[in-house]
Structure 1
């Protein structure tokens, strides 16, 4: 990986470290806004007053959130009205971004090496499994070093 990318990945992994192991959060069926509002025993009218919106507008906001059609900006506004902050982000499923890159680089390298090996085998020039694995490792390291855009194809 180029130094710039490597540094960026390390910084990002460091920032995301506190979220690793966090439980997956299931969104309530009616959405967070409705769930929190009702838990606070707040009416739509009361939330509407805080947002400078009508009861009907609050209902639409709740419906949009429940169906995933709400903007982050709107969620932030509602959060502020509820005296809460919006927490938003992505956490890699494979522990770190570096691991994600390693897995993708290995997949791409394996695809390239095995495709080449197949052609060579047809021409009766196949190589051993040990050499195939070494080639995959070498190519994966090269792909990571160069941070090829093809990594995500």
Structure 2
């Protein structure tokens, strides 16, 4: 199996596993997950501190750090376990991975067309909008036929 096919299969598999998360409006509560779960369980900061092996004075800074994105994954995992929860860590693509790849290829093609179009304009040979769109699609297909790793080179 070629690298391109393997990458395409990996994209499809990841999209299947993560797609439902993209459609879920899962936002962190204003005070953070630790505080929200702790409050919902009726657990005091002293009780959580005891379960974590911390002093009570560390809980408020921990909850504040988590709410503002400053807690480490290790600490979040420990807090989740102390709250009888599972920490879920994932990167959720904003759109299907195939679409991200295609959009990147189209963007690179658009940049190339801009350079070509400018040169043609200087030579008094401009393309119509339809010709530009047709060339954009052709170049996008050509770029997608190349090894996928070239998509991410910034030239």
Q: Which residue of 1 aligns with 2:5?
A: 3
Decide whether the 8 Å contact of 1:31 with 1:62 is kept in 2: yes
* Counterpart in the other structure of 1:140: 140
Tell me how far 1:142 sits from its aligned partner: 2.1
Shift of residue 145, structure 1, vs aligned partner: 2.6
Q: Match for residue 39 of structure 1? A: 40
Q: Deviations over 1:21-79 (max 9, x none)?
A: 212x2322221111211221111111111111110122221121122110112111111
Residue 98 of structure 1 and its aligned partner are, at CA, apart by: 0.5
Cα RMSD for the two superposed structures: 1.9
Matched residue, 2:94: 93
C-alpha separation in 1, matches of 2:74 and 2:98: 30
Give the deviation of 1:100 after TM superposition.
1.4
Residue by residue over 1:74-117, the C-alpha shift from the partner in whole angstroms, topping out at 9 and shown as x without a partner, is 111111110011122222222x1101111222122112112211
TM-score (norm 1): 0.87
Cross-structure match for 2:106: 106
